Chains A and B, each alone.
Chain A
Amino acid sequence: MPTRRRFLATLTAIAGAPFAARAVPAQADGRDFLIRQVTGGGALVREGRVKVDTPELADNGHSVPLRVIVDSPMTATDYVRSVTLLAERNPRPIVATFSLGPWAGRAEIFTRIRLADTQEVLALAQLSDGSYWSGTAKVIVTELACLDGS
């Protein structure tokens, strides 16, 4: 039995390998750690299907307009379950998590966020099939959000 189990595990690992290779390429450890925190483990996160729309240059980090658009038909069987915003250079990098469903009709959310530094903001979407997709937008912040004592 254990041998067969080991064999099956190996088989699964081999089968999974090509998909693993297509995962988000290794970035800062911080981001990987954050993503793992959100996905709750070793879930595969692919790049694509998520568009993050922000001004390239935000002259004020206190309030940066941000729009997330997920490419999804938003039908009863194929929809976006949640969207999480991550700003890894913020003191609290998990900005927000939004839950939505097929009744939304359109997978698009707008909000205003704080950015402590020039950075790449990442949006992580979980679809109804459990898969994770991500998109990023780089924002150059000239006046930082007042997150320290200043």
Chain B
Amino acid sequence: MLAIVLIPREARRGEIIPIRIAIQHPMETGFRPDNFGRRIPKNVINSLVCRYNGVEIFRAEMGSGIAANPQLQFYTVAQKSGDIIFEWVDDAGQAGGERAALTVSG
């Protein structure tokens, strides 16, 4: 699964920074038929976790009410340099992940 994590590359310690993620995923509702009239089974990214230096800072439990190619933005306080890591799994059991590095000064 293709995904992009957008964060400022650098931040001052204590600064509140935005964290954005966009994941390429159909977020299939389960209500849609395919070209042969068969129902496409529901398949959405049902849970997503974001960790900052190993500590969970954000979690999302999602349903079919989240638009296709889900986008999320939230905030965190920059503490020290490290990785922002996202991990998620969909109804089909397929897992994905993406990361971004943050440099904190001061």
Contacts and interface: CB of A to CB of B under 8 A. Distances in A.
Interface of A: 62-64, 85, 87, 90-101, 103-106, 108-114, 146-149
Given A94-B65, A95-B65, A106-B16, A111 B73 contact: yes
Contacts of A148: 31
B106 interface: no
Contacts of A109: 72-74
Given A96-B62, A99-B58, A110 B72 contact: yes
B103 to A, nearest CB: 18
B77 A105 contact: yes
A124 to B, nearest CB: 13
Interface string B22-43: 0000000101110000000000
B43 to A, nearest CB: 14
Given A103-B76, A110-B71, A147-B29, 13 more contacts: A87-B65, A92-B63, A92-B64, A95-B65, A101-B57, A103-B52, A104-B58, A106-B75, A111-B67, A112-B67, A114-B66, A114-B67, A146-B32
Given A104-B75, A106-B16, A110-B72, A96 B60 contact: yes
A108 B70 CA distance: 17
12 contacts: A62-B67, A95-B63, A97-B60, A97-B61, A98-B74, A103-B79, A109-B74, A110-B71, A110-B74, A111-B67, A112-B66, A114-B29
B53 to A, nearest CB: 11
Contacts of B68: 62-63
**Interface of B (DSSP majority class):** strand
Nearest to B29: A147
B13 interface: no
B74 A96 contact: no
Contacts of A90: 65
B76 A113 contact: no
B66 A113 contact: yes
Nearest to B59: A99
B76 A105 contact: yes
Given A100-B58, A109-B72, A149 B33 contact: yes
Contacts of B32: 146, 149
Nearest to A91: B31
A117 B32 CA distance: 16
